[in-house]
A and B are shown apart, each in its own frame.
Chain A
């Protein structure tokens, strides 16, 4: 049913896009996203897909053309990173209000200045509050499967919201892994066709999309958008169950790794979770009660489920790969928020690591666990991992 191929994360994403065979793909280069659109363009050039592509002149136009195509009735995609996401931000922010189910792979990269092409999460975290679903991937396999998951949720009639599928720049996007690739026919049957009930090319039923809404209506429209986000949380699990039947993998809101009976737990997104799992294994072998939580669905954030998971632990360390200057770091803020309703709260510590692609080492994660277990914590201030001076 599936074959195993050595693929980079970027290639795995392009492979998923090949199997989805969207009507329109819009391409613009930015490291480390570039190979996604390059691999896909190669499929087009060799007739492997019959998608129409638009090689635009900027990311602003990339998102604009994608929205134009989606409003016209197409299943349309583009992909980006960092400065590209920042440049298209205006249109990214406008998309959820139009209720267009666009799926956009985002390969996480640090934001300027200083300019830096390597991984951190400051690009997508800046866009975490504007109405896109965000699904994080630890590795190429997840980056591949999350494309199907995101597409089906986005296009669900109870949702109709855009989704970003995130993977770590270079670490995932350029690292080769063995990826289990589903059969083309299986994917085709799973994703089906996009069947919008209203679209511009349906000229017999003219419709206006993107009007001006004044104070008498804007608020209600935004409220509907939030309802859709709430629905997305439910639909995520439903679609995840369907996809499970094809891949054999599970699609929870977050992954709990060896948390049974754990005292100290680390919460961390994406590729660093892979490294942290290794450390958890080592420490468990040494008899230490440690575990890991890897959030996957970041928007909508599963506060209740996260709370129910976290209250079992004595101490939780949250590792953010970006900062939210002047406030609690983004992942930490959500974890902290999720505990408000709980009588019993674990002790919390916020950490920042890996900005601009700085590596995080197992020894550092081990030290974090030791610190968490030692109880020398300050929930109001973050600590830095791997920072000089």
Chain B
């Protein structure tokens, strides 16, 4: 098994000089996932922060083959690449083996790209789809997505005198992906690169589609000091807000169980999107959030204990 030193010393697919915000969590996710492949990787990228910050023509930060088409179709583009790969290989037109990887933001995955993702998973293409999840449409300035957490203030559902922010819980994209009965699904986060690497390795090695949701705190729109990205990611799993787990061949395995889960306030405080929750009139929102997190964690523990296949 690779050590973190070995992983970070590999050549990265992203050259320095891309335009991500200082402290953005996306590039370590990309570099780590690609490092886990033992074959050349081809990337299909949805319109998103990752796309706009890495390929401002005539420059490209990508040292590996990369395509962007539109916002909602990275999974469909990846199906086309995978099928082309099978065809050209069969016809003797190419010889190299490759891994095919799709990257999308949460908006491009949970929302507008959901159908294309589901279709590609159902068809069983051999590729991995990674959503880097910053819980909102960040490239366009912090709008609500299906991944935005309960209570968060966004520009399309702002907190105000008649609103505490998003009134719905987020979609469970990992379980939805797992319900396609694909061989590998996982939830990871940017603070634990070794865990991410190991999951990416399993994903590339899977005999069929693999799916990963990776938490990526967004310094600009969650609005916190840029050196705190990793700290917030860690707090997300220490509070059970974002459990690290995987679903391998349908069976749930939790990769990290906090000895004592921290209260959700620890994750919320210091982020502008949750600032309003600390007003006395919104106390109930935090309480409800805590309750939901604890119930969801219980349910996850039961899923793991039951070992009933997805």
- Residues on A lying within 8 angstroms of B by beta carbon are 23-24, 26, 50-58, 60-61, 64-74, 76, 90-91, 94, 98, 193, 200-204, 206-214, 217, 221
Contact = CB atoms under 8 A, between A and B. Distances in A.
Contact of B73 (A50, A61, A200, A213): A61
B65 A203 contact: yes
* Majority SS at the chain A contact face: mixed
26 contacts: A23-B88, A56-B79, A56-B119, A57-B115, A61-B73, A64-B69, A64-B70, A65-B80, A66-B80, A67-B69, A68-B84, A69-B80, A72-B85, A73-B88, A74-B84, A91-B70, A200-B65, A200-B81, A202-B65, A204-B96, A208-B67, A209-B68, A212-B56, A214-B56, A214-B57, A217-B58
Which of B52, B65, B75, B122 has most A Cβ within 10 Å? B65
Contacts of A212: 51-52, 55-57, 68
A74 B81 CA distance: 9
B90 A71 contact: no
A200 B67 contact: yes
A61 B90 contact: no
B218 interface: no
Contact of B80 (A72, A94, A204): A72
B77 to A, nearest CB: 4
B42 interface: yes
Contacts of B93: 23, 73, 193
Interface string B119-143: 1101100000000000000000000
Contacts, number: 172
A251 to B, nearest CB: 29
A24 B80 CA distance: 8
Interface residues of B, number: 47
B118 interface: yes
Given A64-B80, A68-B44, A68-B67, A57 B119 contact: yes
B79 A201 contact: no
B80 A201 contact: no
B80 A67 contact: yes
Given A68-B67, A204-B96, A214-B56, A60 B72 contact: yes
B40 interface: yes
A67 B77 contact: yes
B85 A76 contact: no
Contacts of B98: 201, 203
Given A61-B79, A70-B84, A204-B96, 15 more contacts: A24-B84, A24-B87, A54-B79, A58-B116, A60-B73, A61-B75, A65-B83, A69-B81, A72-B88, A200-B42, A200-B65, A201-B98, A209-B68, A211-B68, A214-B57
